[in-house]
Amino acid sequence: MNDLSGDGWQIILHDFSRTTPDIYIKATIANEYVMYNDVNAALILGHLAVAHLHRQMELAPLSRLPQM
């Protein structure tokens, strides 16, 4: 993370357990996107739940979130 912040990236860190539901992780990312106007990327590291195709269809992509 020191490399990222040294390159000028602002880091917003969230720790999730391996059993955290994918919908909760996506909601957390969406919330950060709405709270901070300058969020333009998400880097997810580790062993986390991945949404299955049918669940992705139910969730609006981040690009469709309203701009504040």
Per the CB < 8 A criterion, the answer to whether 5 and 33 are in contact is no
Task: Tell which residue, 46, 38, 45, has the closest CA to residue 8.
Answer: 38
pLDDT digits (tens, 9 = 90+) for 23-58: 888 889 888 888 887 887 888 888 777 665 444 445
Is the pLDDT at 6 greater than 80? The verdict is yes
Q: How many CA atoms lie within 13 A of 22 on its CB side?
A: 11
Is the pLDDT at 66 greater than 70? The verdict is no
Is the pLDDT at 67 greater than 70? The verdict is no
pTM surpassing 0.85? Answer: no
